[in-house]
Copies of this chain bind each other. A is one copy, B any other.
Amino acid sequence: MASGTGLQGTGGGTIDRRTLPGEFVTLAKEAPLDLDSGARLGPINVAYTTHGTLNTDKSNAILICHALTGDQFVCGTHPITKRPGWWDTTVGPGKPLDTDRYFLICPNLLGGCMGTTGPSETNPATGKPWGLDFPVITIGDMVNVQKLLVDHLGIGQLFSVIGGSMGGMQALDWAVRFPERVFSVMPIASALRTSAQNIAHHEVGRQAVMADPDWCGGRYQEEGKRPHRGLAVARMGAHITYLSESALTRKFGRSLQGRDRVTYGFEADFQVESYLRHQGITFVDRFDANSYLYITRAMDYFDLVEEHGGVATDIFAGTNVRFGVISFTSDWMFPTAENREIVKALNGVGANVSFVEIETDQGHDSFLMDIADYHRVIRGFLEGAAELRGAAGP
């Protein structure tokens, strides 16, 4: 590759997840979990962190569901990246998800690559990494594993389940699968089903990974390789979808990167190029390529409407769960219109739902940002849910 034109990552080796901080538990030991595909999986390891203290009546537990490339390290310093956890803006003492008040449970999801069972972990049947022998999973399967964790922690009813993007899909799925086990859910920048455009973006990312010869048909671990470049390209493309045109223009515009004029070449002349390359290169040091395939596929398959015979109002019929739905004006990946579909389905059955659209130009990634209006809504929703729950609340 010509100098300066490519994705030169450090290409860090496989991380030994067992050396990571946080909790670790093996679930589904006695009986394997029935997956939506019909396959069975077990035992299942789950890596997770908790923050705050569970109160005596176990009424202050909030489950945080992470998005596609998130993990259990929501706050503080991430052990691998050495940067703040993905929701450090929102989780901590005095923050909207207040660790002085709530007990937060943050598991790495099924199919992930930060200690929870996924394609990069060892298949007990063969002693080799799962690779593409790992069964294709769904959002529902992820939720079923989270439910086993909540059982393990001895918590009868979660005060709330909260998550952004694919995390919001998990929150919605909790309300569908285990309505008695959740008092409230807060899906942020989410949808009842994945749109054609998002499936399209996922497919491009998967093809970028699979086009890398170092992917080796999914067996790169056995071959001692990693499809760094394909995964970096996938991340670069996806990253654009997390932002908005106006945010890109405001942040970067056509500014040049450390030079006064263009070089008439293929180096990263523009700041936006340099930024995207950095996003791609750093991502591959903390994420597994096969996990990327499996988790995007789980998103593609998410369709609560189809699961309920195509009738959106059947999804939440008779629910007692309180819902707080949040969208962002500049989010074109999960636009307000798709979040409103959730609200419509809930209103159609007279469910308890509040909905707020936050004005911001930061795109889909807004759910990770420190936006005052947004944080006020999270606080307000949890306050309202606590009041509704009364003495039994946090």
Contact = CB atoms under 8 A, between A and B. Distances in A.
Interface of A: 1-2, 5-7, 36-39, 132, 135-136, 193-197, 199-201, 203-204, 206-208, 210-213, 215, 217-218, 229-230, 232-233, 236-237, 240, 245, 248-249, 251-254, 262, 264-266, 268-270, 272-273, 276-277, 280, 293, 297, 300-301, 303, 306, 332, 335
A249 B2 contact: no
18 contacts: A1-B210, A2-B132, A2-B217, A132-B266, A136-B265, A195-B249, A196-B252, A197-B249, A199-B272, A200-B240, A200-B273, A201-B240, A204-B236, A207-B232, A208-B211, A210-B266, A233-B233, A262-B301
B2 A196 contact: no
B195 A248 contact: yes
Counting from the closest, the 10 A-B pairs by CB-CB distance are: A211-B229, A37-B264, A136-B264, A196-B248, A203-B273, A197-B245, A204-B237, A204-B236, A196-B252, A196-B272
| Chief secondary structure at chain A's binding surface | helix
A268 B297 CA distance: 11
A1 B6 CA distance: 24
B206 A248 contact: no
Most B CB contacts (10 A, CB to CB) among A37, A237, A276, A306 go to: A237
B195 A207 contact: no
A270 B251 CA distance: 35
Nearest to A196: B248
A204 B240 CA distance: 9
A280 B204 CA distance: 10
A335 B245 CA distance: 10
Nearest to A135: B264
A276 B233 CA distance: 17
A205 to B, nearest CB: 9
Nearest to A246: B197
Contacts of A262: 301
B6 A210 contact: yes
A136 B251 CA distance: 27
A204 B196 CA distance: 21
B37 A272 contact: no
Contact of A233 (B37, B208, B249, B265): B208
A272 B193 contact: no
B196 A277 contact: no
Given A2-B217, A240-B200, A248-B196, A208 B208 contact: yes
A208 to B, nearest CB: 5
B7 A270 contact: no
A230 B203 CA distance: 14
A387 B108 CA distance: 69
A2 B208 CA distance: 14
A251 to B, nearest CB: 8
Contacts of A217: 1-2
Most B CB contacts (10 A, CB to CB) among A38, A136, A197, A253 go to: A197
Most B CB contacts (10 A, CB to CB) among A1, A201, A232, A268 go to: A1
A101 B168 CA distance: 58
A106 to B, nearest CB: 27
Given A2-B217, A7-B211, A196-B254, 11 more contacts: A6-B211, A7-B210, A36-B264, A200-B240, A203-B272, A204-B237, A207-B236, A208-B208, A211-B233, A266-B293, A266-B297
